[in-house]
Homo-oligomer: A and B are copies of this chain.
Amino acid sequence: MLTEKELKEYSDNARASYLPHISIDCVVFGFHEGMLKVLLLHMKNENGWYLPGGFVLKDEPIELSANRILKERTGLDEIFLQQFHVFGDPQRSKDHFEMYKDMLPRAENWFTDRFLTIGYYALVDFCDAIPQPDIFSADCIWRDLDDLPELKLDHALILKTALDTLRLQLNYQPIGYNLMPKEFTMPELQKLYETILDKKLDRRNFQRRMLGFGILKRSEKPRKGGAHKAPYLYSFDLENYQAALTEGFKGGW
């Protein structure tokens, strides 16, 4: 539980270090055992959950802020982070006004100012990320996307928007590099797509299409040990992957 004194201290520190009225919220997607997960924080002194977020240092490029926040929460660095929307409704943080209203006068509490938040989403390998709570939180854990708890503020909207954006991106950008382990099988990659899109895809057509993008390299050795026929292992061809990221897939016109 946060004391008034601590809150005041955090508030003063934040005011001194960060740009006012601007925050960053990260929707960190992970993938594990066929389930899409998202990283959520649970506050010490209340019930709801939050997306991991943070603020922009007074002289810090926002892309760095987003990366810093992601790193602080997952230990991961150099991850594809996609800015997707700014949420700027003045009413979006009224939960906060309520929550802190008896602790510290509004004027003294930096955190109850109005904030615009810049939404970023990240796709990370579930296994590499080590969730770390921040100073306000009791927990930082992966939650299943289809079993979400109640989210505070407008974080449900932010999450939904991120997911919609991700699904759109899927149509003209490669996805998976940060979500999959170094090597993976085609069915595993397919499972990722199916999970994100929440629909079944045809095994054979998926494979053909995926290979057609030219962003995969097939390893010599198939995965051994498993039951049934041994699947081939693939990894992303980083060069082509990056190119596809910038250029996109299907032209259209």
Q: How far is the CA of A194 from the CA of B5 in the complex (A)?
A: 62
When each residue 195-237 of chain A gets 1 if its CB lies under 8 Å from chain B and 0 otherwise, what string results? 0010101000000000000000000000000000000000000
Contacts A252-B170, A253-B197; A61 near B89 (Cβ below 8 A): yes
Known: A85-B83, A253-B197. A114 touches B59 (CB 8 A): yes
Q: In the complex where A19-B21, A170-B252, A170-B253 touch, is A88 in contact with B63 (Cβ < 8 A)?
A: yes
A252 to B250, CA, bound (A): 9
User: Which B residues are CB-close (under 8 A) to A251?
Assistant: 171
For A20, what are the chain B residues with a Cβ–Cβ distance below 8 Å? 20-21
A253 and B252 CA atoms in complex are apart in Å by 15
Q: Mark A155-188, 1 if CB is under 8 A from B, else 0.
A: 0000000000000101110000000000000000
Residue contact A116 to B171, C-beta cutoff 8 Å: no
Chain B residues lying within 8 Å of A70, measured Cβ to Cβ, are: none
A86 at the interface (CB under 8 A from B): yes
Residue in B19, B114, B172 whose CB lies within 8 Å of A171: B172
What CA separation (Å) do A202 and B185 show in the bound complex?
A: 42
Residues of chain B within 8 A (CB-CB) of A171 are: 172, 250-253
> How far, in Å, is A114 (CB) from chain B's closest CB?
7
**Residue A50 CB within 8 A of the other chain:** no
If the complex has contacts A19-B21, A22-B22, are A62 and B253 also in contact, measured as CB distance less than 8 A? no
Measured CA separation A42–B248 after assembly (Å): 35
Chain B residues in 8 Å Cβ range of A56: 88, 116
In the complex, what's the smallest C-beta–C-beta distance from A174 to chain B, in angstroms? 13
Chain B: CB-nearest residue to A60: B90
Q: Is there contact, CB below 8 Å, between A114 and B19? A: yes
New A-B pairs, 16, CB < 8 Å, besides A19-B116, A170-B252: A19-B21, A19-B114, A21-B21, A56-B88, A59-B114, A61-B90, A62-B86, A65-B88, A88-B118, A168-B248, A170-B253, A171-B251, A171-B252, A171-B253, A193-B253, A250-B252
